[in-house]
């Protein structure tokens, strides 16, 4: 992050300011210069910075007052104050108010400035990373032989290897529960952005009236309940990767704003006026037919082409039956470790039953079934530890290109609704899809009012 950082330097002595700028530009930082405290506050309101380097004594508004005003407005990045020897006590007092650090002037050693700036920016990057982790705890990736188990995953594996270390936007398609977020995370870890954040947002899980704030953040007072400024996912993912899961569920009005951000690589917080730069790689995922949504005016065609620079399709679990044993064994071992049970074996009859089952919920459903089986098992997973629909699967009709796949999906939806007493939210969870997607499917099958 550091060599991409932008620093606001505020110093009224042009000679000393030129020295500071020369030292920092040699380190590869982007520099904006100001000599007046009031003008610097106007600049801070207009755009974001990674660091402010400010003299304590300034015309218009002194450095500490500038920090206090920026902090009160929620627009203060880390501040380093420059102070003469006679004002060191004031600088030390400023540390208690939240100023990051201070340097005395005249500057005796340029390395002191370089070191302090580098350390401050690294701490800022670490704080952003911790914020991301606090917002969403993430599980580790499974081994590649598990993630790509099954011959049907070979093409996806090849494509991921080709695109990972490029800046290209990626659109991952596939049914719910096929592991789209895991693949997105793998692409991030194999890219040159691996040391920055991976931030995920589920576009179907957040109410429409809150989505803009989640993506772009908000300023204090932007709406009722906004008691303090808050960065959005784009800011948290700065320098890294933003994963937009279920992108097809994004409201059309926000699709236009997202497109503008992707084109201009800049945005404003909700209720704000300052420009924030967005150096973010986008990976999106969907379980919907976005081309059909475009024809129905539910998804913007221009946004689709912006996201679909490099498409990757993940096959459903029923097309990866040759990989089921290795996935099953891995999930059983992981579940046993998490639950604290000793499971030594998955019996062959279980593998056979899994191979005969249709897995409408894909790997997410398999994971739930295995966790349940581990809890019920006595050292080995047997047929009796499995749910009845898997122990005695209904005969599955063959899936051909003449529309039988739709018959299977319709049947799975009706069965889930019946098992959940008609509760659509519970049925959607059982199927591993969003309630909005279930409503969309019901409408497509003419079942919305039944």
What are the residue ranges of helices labelled H in 204-347?
Answer: 208-216, 233-236, 252-264, 290-295, 301-307, 324-339
- pLDDT digits (tens), the chain, 450 positions: 345 789 999 999 999 999 999 999 999 999 999 999 999 999 998 888 899 999 999 999 999 999 999 888 878 899 999 987 666 777 777 888 889 998 888 888 899 999 999 989 988 876 765 554 444 434 467 888 888 999 999 999 999 999 998 999 999 999 999 999 999 999 998 898 887 889 999 999 888 888 989 999 888 878 877 778 888 899 889 889 999 999 999 999 899 999 999 998 888 888 888 888 888 999 999 999 999 999 999 999 999 999 999 999 999 999 999 999 999 988 998 888 888 887 768 888 899 899 989 999 999 999 999 999 999 988 889 999 999 889 875 444 444 444 555 667 777 888 888 888 888 878 877 776 767 667 767 766 777 666
Fold held by 145-313 = Rossmann fold (3.40.50)
Fold held by 404-444 = Arc Repressor Mutant, subunit A (1.10.10)
Residue 448 confidence (pLDDT) = 67
Residue 164 confidence (pLDDT) = 92
Instruction: Note if the pTM is more than 0.95.
Output: no
Comma-separated ranges of CATH 1.10.8.60 domains in the chain: 317-391
Comma-separated ranges of CATH 1.10.10 domains in the chain: 404-444
Name the CATH architecture for the domain at 317-391: Orthogonal Bundle (1.10)
Question: Both tokens of residue 85?
Answer: 């020897």
Phi, psi values for residue 347, rounded to 5°: -65, 155
Comma-separated ranges of CATH 3.40.50.300 domains in the chain: 145-313
Residue 434 confidence (pLDDT) = 67
Comma-separated ranges of CATH 3.40.50.2300 domains in the chain: 2-134
Residue 305 confidence (pLDDT) = 95
How many Å separate Cα 308 from the centre of its chain?
18
CATH of 2-134, one of 1.10.1240.10, 3.40.50.450, 3.40.50.2300, 1.20.1630.10: 3.40.50.2300
Residue 439 confidence (pLDDT) = 72
- The residue ranges of DSSP E strands in 327-392, in sequence order, are 345-346, 380-381
Give the span between the Cα atoms of 390 and 357, in whole angstroms. Answer: 6
DSSP helix/strand/coil, 304: helix
């Amino acid at each position: 992050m550091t060599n991409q950082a932008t620093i606001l330097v505020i110093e009224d002595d042009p000679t000393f300011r030129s020295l500071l700028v020369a030292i920092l530009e040699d380190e590869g930082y982007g520099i904006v210069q100001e000599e007046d405290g009031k003008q610097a506050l106007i600049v801070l309101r207009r755009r974001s910075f990674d660091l402010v380097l400010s003299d304590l004594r300034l015309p218009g508004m002194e450095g500490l007052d500038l920090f206090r005003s920026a902090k009160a407005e929620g627009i203060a990045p880390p501040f380093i104050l420059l102070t003469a020897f006679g004002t060191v006590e004031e600088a030390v007092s400023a540390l208690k108010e939240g100023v990051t650090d201070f340097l005395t002037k005249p500057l005796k050693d340029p390395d002191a400035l370089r070191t302090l700036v580098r350390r401050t920016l690294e701490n800022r990057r670490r704080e952003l990373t911790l914020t991301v982790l606090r917002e969403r705890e993430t599980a580790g990736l499974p081994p590649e032989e598990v993630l790509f188990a099954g011959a049907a995953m070979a093409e996806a594996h090849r494509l991921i290897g080709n695109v990972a270390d490029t800046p290209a936007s990626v659109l991952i398609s596939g049914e719910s529960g096929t592991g789209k977020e895991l693949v997105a995370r793998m692409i991030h870890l194999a890219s040159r952005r691996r040391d920055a954040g991976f931030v995920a947002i589920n576009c179907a899980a957040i109410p429409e009236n809150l989505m803009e704030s989640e993506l772009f953040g908000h300023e204090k007072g932007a709406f009722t309940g906004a008691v303090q400024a808050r960065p959005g996912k784009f800011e948290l993912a700065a320098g890294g990767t933003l994963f937009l899961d279920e992108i097809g569920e994004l409201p059309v009005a926000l699709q236009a704003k997202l497109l503008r951000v992707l084109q201009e690589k800049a945005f404003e917080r909700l209720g704000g006026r300052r420009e924030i730069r967005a150096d973010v790689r986008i990976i999106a995922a969907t379980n919907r037919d976005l081309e059909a949504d475009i024809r129905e005016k539910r998804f913007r065609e221009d946004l689709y082409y912006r996201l679909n620079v490099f498409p990757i399709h993940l096959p459903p679990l029923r097309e990866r039956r040759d990989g089921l044993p290795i996935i099953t064994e891995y999930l059983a071992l992981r579940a046993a470790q998490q639950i604290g049970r000793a499971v030594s074996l998955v019996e062959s009859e279980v593998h056979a039953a899994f191979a005969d089952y249709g897995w409408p919920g894909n790997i997410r459903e398999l994971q739930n079934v295995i966790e349940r089986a581990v809890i019920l098992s006595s050292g080995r997973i047997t047929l009796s530890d499995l749910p009845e629909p898997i122990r005695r699967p209904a005969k599955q009709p063959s899936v051909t290109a003449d529309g039988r796949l739709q018959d299977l999906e319709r049947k799975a939806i009706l069965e889930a609704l019946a098992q959940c007493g008609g509760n659509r939210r519970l049925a959607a969870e059982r199927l591993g899809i969003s309630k909005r997607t279930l409503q969309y499917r019901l409408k497509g099958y003419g079942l919305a009012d039944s």
